[in-house]
Structure 1
């Protein structure tokens, strides 16, 4: 009977598909850490660097975490779109024709607070630091994208309701 018990695999409190779903949710938001307890078992997932890929951290009493391969590089940008560089907070990046405002997260970009209201900004509008340029909805949370420089909106590179990726250029601001 002892031989039969040794052959059985221990049941996991945190199935692999649930762990993968948690990691995907973290990638789609700005959540830095998650801790889940089920009885005496725990699982903690934490981002350890400025990159958006979370890592799984072993917690005493928890099942052994599963290692995942590093994420692949983001998809190439459409022809003619400004290049985005990676960084801890890629809110705005300088280009030769202005400052490119990039998406700080994955989600859906909206130009106005609601469909019946006018857009926050239009091409040609003057903007100042702190002005709202648009909203990115991620996991039913509306995240305002604020301007970080004084200037004029030169180009808007995404449409209302368009899905955006982390680091994707949203608009170009020509500084004053």
Structure 2
């Protein structure tokens, strides 16, 4: 089965190439990537396969009931106009997954606009194949803007927050 790092590398290679569709089969697992206008729009894994995932070194992982990923649609990102402000630090997604602002639906958000964060502050969770990865701020500062909505699919390297460094 595919590892998260392998998926990241394949997605990055396809995204940076001129091909529009990529299919890869290995040991009964099938990976199909399609892109439109330079944005990868579909990742399909087999229903019967259980993904093998290694959490990235920058995130802590909480494992829940194992389920398989059937299809993940990656939305095109639209960055707000102030993203170009060079004084602001971008906290980016270390993986493709689903963005969550809180540890559970009934819990308050980890951070809101105006909150102060330190390097170790958890700002959100990105779920990838039923692994919930806590994302740390990695910078001391103030949250200026939250760039994605709760439950939104995010891409590897996509900006999630803008932070005004202290």
| Residue pair 2:96, 2:156 contacting (<8 A) in 1 also | yes
| CA apart distance, 1:71 | 1.2
What are the residue-to-residue correspondences of 1:31-110 with 2, within 5 Å? 52-53=9-10, 70-73=13-16, 75=39, 77-78=77-78, 80=80, 82=83, 96-110=86-100
Distance 2:15 2:141 in 1: 35
Task: Tell me what 2:119 maps to.
Answer: 129
| CA apart distance, 1:157 | 0.2
Q: Tell me, yes or no, if structure 1 residue 149 matches structure 2 residue 119.
A: no
Distance 1:159 1:110 in 2: 8
Q: Radius of gyration: which is bigger?
A: 1
What are the residue-to-residue correspondences of 1:8-23 with 2, within 5 Å? 22=1
Identify unmatched segments of 5+ residues in structure 2. Answer: 17-37, 40-75
Distance 1:168 1:115 in 2: 23
Identify unmatched segments of 5+ residues in structure 1. Answer: 1-21, 33-46, 55-69, 84-94
The number of residues matched between the two structures is 107
Distance 1:99 1:134 in 2: 16
> Relative to structure 1, is the Cα distance of residues 79 and 109 closer, same or farther in structure 2, using a 3 angstrom cutoff?
closer
Distance 1:53 1:96 in 2: 30
| CA apart distance, 1:80 | 3.3
| Residue pair 2:79, 2:147 contacting (<8 A) in 1 also | no
Q: Deviations over 1:99-135 (max 9, x none)?
A: 0011100000000000000000000000001100000
Could you say what secondary structure the match of 1:71 adopts? Answer: helix
Could you list the runs of 4 or more consecutive aligned residues of structure 1 that deviate by over 3 angstroms after TM superposition?
79-83
| CA apart distance, 1:79 | 5.2
Higher strand content, 1 or 2: 2
Q: 1 or 2 for the larger relative contact order (CA 8 Å, sep ≥6)?
A: 2
| CA apart distance, 1:77 | 4.2
Q: CA RMSD in A?
A: 2.4
Q: TM-score, normalised by structure 2?
A: 0.57
